């Protein structure tokens, strides 16, 4: 089914880690990308005997569309695609971690991916997420998807995540990051205190971490300037 629908085959025994939203900076696809790179680097260390990190077999599925005029969003898609090439072509790790980008995400894809998801990533910065129902489809399902799902939600305390947390209990949803008032406080005081802390993350986007591809300086610059 996955081969005919998506153009690639997926190992059903892996955890389906799904991030499907409109591709904008506020939806934090860049955070997903940095997480993929971190997982890949950890796997390389495990394979080299330098780490005892517990490996969870994972298939990361990225979907969504960027606004036509948003250059940074398109660069983020390109970055994720390039990371996917590196991860998927590494014979040492590609049995443990694979990354797929849905080039033309639409309802026919959602009908298959939403019920199949094991982990739903809802990472929008608190205060930027509209109260839609996309998050809820992964957790409880809708009639259009023909079945309940029950995917674990990893997200920020914003939008529908707040309502879901109230209904299922905080022990059944993974919430991280700042709340809306904390975001506003940081916007007021500035993020400069965090710049040193993210230096290593910014290095992850360098040409050394993603061989054979450009280093996406515009994304790095945008990240620095937003702090």
**Mean pLDDT taken over the chain:** 77
Task: Assess if residue 1 is contained within a domain.
Answer: no
Query: Which range in 93-102, 162-171, 211-220 is most confidently predicted, on average pLDDT?
Result: 93-102
Question: Worst-scoring range by mean pLDDT, 43-57, 131-145, 191-205?
Answer: 131-145
- The domain that holds 135 is classified in CATH as 3.40.50.2000
- Going by pLDDT thresholds of 50, 70 and 90, the confidence category of residue 143 is very low
131 in a domain, yes or no? yes
Structure confidence by residue, pLDDT tens digits, 21-41: 888 887 888 889 889 988 998
Mean pLDDT of 122-145: 62
Range of the domain at 130: 15-204
User: What span, in angstroms and rounded, lies between the C-alpha atoms of 130 and 159?
Assistant: 6
* The pLDDT of residue 183: 82
Cα dihedral sign, 8-12-13-15? positive
Q: Determine the straight-line distance between the first and last CA of the chain, rounded to whole angstroms.
A: 43
Q: How many domains does the chain have?
A: 1
Question: What is the pLDDT at residue 146?
Answer: 40
Q: How far apart are CA 168 and CA 159, in angstroms?
A: 15
pLDDT band, very low/low/confident/very high, at 147 (cuts 50, 70, 90): very low
């Amino acid at each position: 089914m996955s081969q005919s629908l998506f153009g690639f085959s997926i190992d059903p025994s892996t955890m389906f880690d799904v991030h499907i939203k409109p591709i904008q900076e506020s939806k934090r696809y860049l955070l997903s990308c940095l997480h993929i790179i971190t997982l890949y680097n950890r796997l390389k260390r495990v394979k080299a005997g330098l780490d005892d990190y517990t490996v969870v077999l994972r298939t990361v599925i990225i979907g969504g569309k960027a606004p036509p005029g948003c250059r940074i969003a398109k660069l983020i898609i390109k970055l994720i695609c390039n990371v996917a090439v590196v991860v998927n072509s590494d014979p040492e790790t590609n049995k443990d971690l694979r990354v797929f980008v849905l080039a033309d995400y639409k309802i026919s894809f959602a009908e298959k991916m939403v019920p199949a998801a094991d982990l739903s990533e809802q990472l929008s910065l608190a205060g930027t997420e509209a109260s839609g129902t996309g998050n809820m489809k992964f957790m409880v399902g809708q009639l259009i998807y023909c079945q309940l799902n029950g995917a674990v939600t990893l997200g920020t305390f914003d939008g529908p995540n707040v309502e879901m947390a109230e209904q299922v209990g905080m022990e059944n949803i993974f919430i991280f990051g700042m709340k809306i008032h904390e975001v506003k406080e940081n916007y007021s005081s500035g993020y400069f205190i965090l710049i040193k802390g993210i230096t290593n993350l910014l290095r992850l986007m360098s040409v050394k971490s993603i061989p054979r591809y450009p280093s996406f300086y515009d994304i790095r610059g945008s990240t620095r300037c937003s702090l």
